[in-house]
Amino acid sequence: MIGSGLWMALVMFWQMFWALALGFSISAAVQAVASKHDIAQLLPDDSPTSLLRACGLGAASSSCSYAATAIARSLFRKGANFTSSIAFEFASTNLVIELGILLWVLIGWQFTVAEFLGGFIMVAILALIFRLFLKQRMVAEARKQTDRGVPGLMEGHAAMDMSIENKGSAWNRVRSPEGITAISHYFIMDIVSVWRDIAIGVVLSGLLAVLVPASAWNALFYSGHGVASSLCGALIGPIVSLLSFVCSVGNVPMAAVLWNGGISFGGVIAFVFADLLILPILNIYRKYYGVKMMLFLALTSYVAMAGAGLLVEAIFRLLGLVPTSHPGVMTGMGMSWNYTSVLDLVFVIPTAFLAVRFFRTGGVPMLRMMNMTEEEMAHAHHGHDHHSHTAHHHRSDTDQGHAEDHSHPAPHHHSTHDHTSHDHSTHDHSVHHH
């Protein structure tokens, strides 16, 4: 049975590969033209305008839950409103393109639409709860803890900004040599940041699909009892996520297993939302903001996730869009020569191209810096400034069009090779301000 579960995991990855490659490619292209520079100044309060900006900027960032949490802390340290910073974090993991594509491929377009609609509903619920119950004293205590700079995970990845700003239109920036290099760097780094979650999610999903009988799933989710099943699914979904230790896009295969097992439509959405409720993320909250704020975020996040799942299901039921049958991708899944096989082979080509581009344009040192703090990255920049710039000039000779990035630096320009640059307001020596 374990062998069957592992085979199911392999088959599931086969189904997902082209969707992952497509999603990460689009996300990388968006990040290459959407600068992180001065985001904190765009989120001064918790007004609807700031919250919508936070959602848009979050959707254009990395889908890695750990990086999203690190960026939110960084924004808060730089003066952004706490509520808007958390809204940015939630959008980074729930409104990103790759998540929607995977949901569509594995369990259906309805879940993709519900995920995006529910993401905005969840942020709205969270902002309302914060406005009612979050005291300024708690925010002040959280800021004091934040200023201690206790490290979390993927902070270096969160601090990197390789977007191209001075090449005309977005299309021209994407097509430029610098743009292609930036896309390759975002593409590989995003994959590196979430591959463990994807691997764990796929293997765990394959094993659970085989080892857990349908009767156990139906009993857990109280399936077949109308409104009671919907309520039970939305309440249990985030708890299952909390115990799974899987975050980011890695929980989509698990969502397919839960849907196949009989959880409600809203329960699936609440489960996917809860990738920020896993124990490692809660521990990072404790390090970043202190125990009180960690407990507050855990409780309010749970309420917002479950509430958004219930509301989305209610809306979809009114519109008649909730799928009528539960068996999804798990039913009759196998490997055969079909459109999935063709797409997998097609997307091997751009994946290989971006990987080669990444390694030929100084990508390896960036991988080593993904878990550095912003302060450590700045220190590395101090210690190796001359050497790194010399090395980058050398690399740019093999990459047409890159030399001008270093010979004609412009204000707020984010070089695709300056992997140590970031938006920390106290470091005016960064590439952005040469």
CB burial string 375-384: b at 16+ within 10 A, e below: ebbbebbeee
User: What's the pLDDT score for residue 383?
Assistant: 52
Position 326 scores a pLDDT of: 63
* Alpha carbon distance 211, 257 (integer Å): 11
Q: Which residue reads 């839960």 in tokens?
A: 258
Higher model confidence: residue 253 or residue 415? Answer: 253
Model-wide pTM > 0.85: no
What confidence score (pLDDT) does residue 433 get? 35
Domain boundaries along the sequence of the chain? 2-373
- Give the pLDDT score at 400: 38
- Look-up of token digits 């990855």: 13
Instruction: Please count the other Cβ atoms lying within 10 Å of the Cβ belonging to residue 228.
Output: 11
* Contact in structure between 415 and 181 (CB atoms under 8 Å): no
Q: Write down the pLDDT at residue 273.
A: 93
Residue 412 has pLDDT above 50, yes or no: no
pLDDT band at 301 (very low <50, low <70, confident <90, very high): very high
Give me the mean pLDDT over the 394-409 stretch.
37
pLDDT of 378 reads 64
The Cα diameter of the chain in Å comes to 68
Confidence of residue 334 (pLDDT cuts 50, 70, 90): low
Q: Give residue-wise pLDDT tens across range 148-171.
A: 888 877 777 777 777 787 767 777
* Confidence band of 434 (pLDDT split at 50, 70, 90): very low
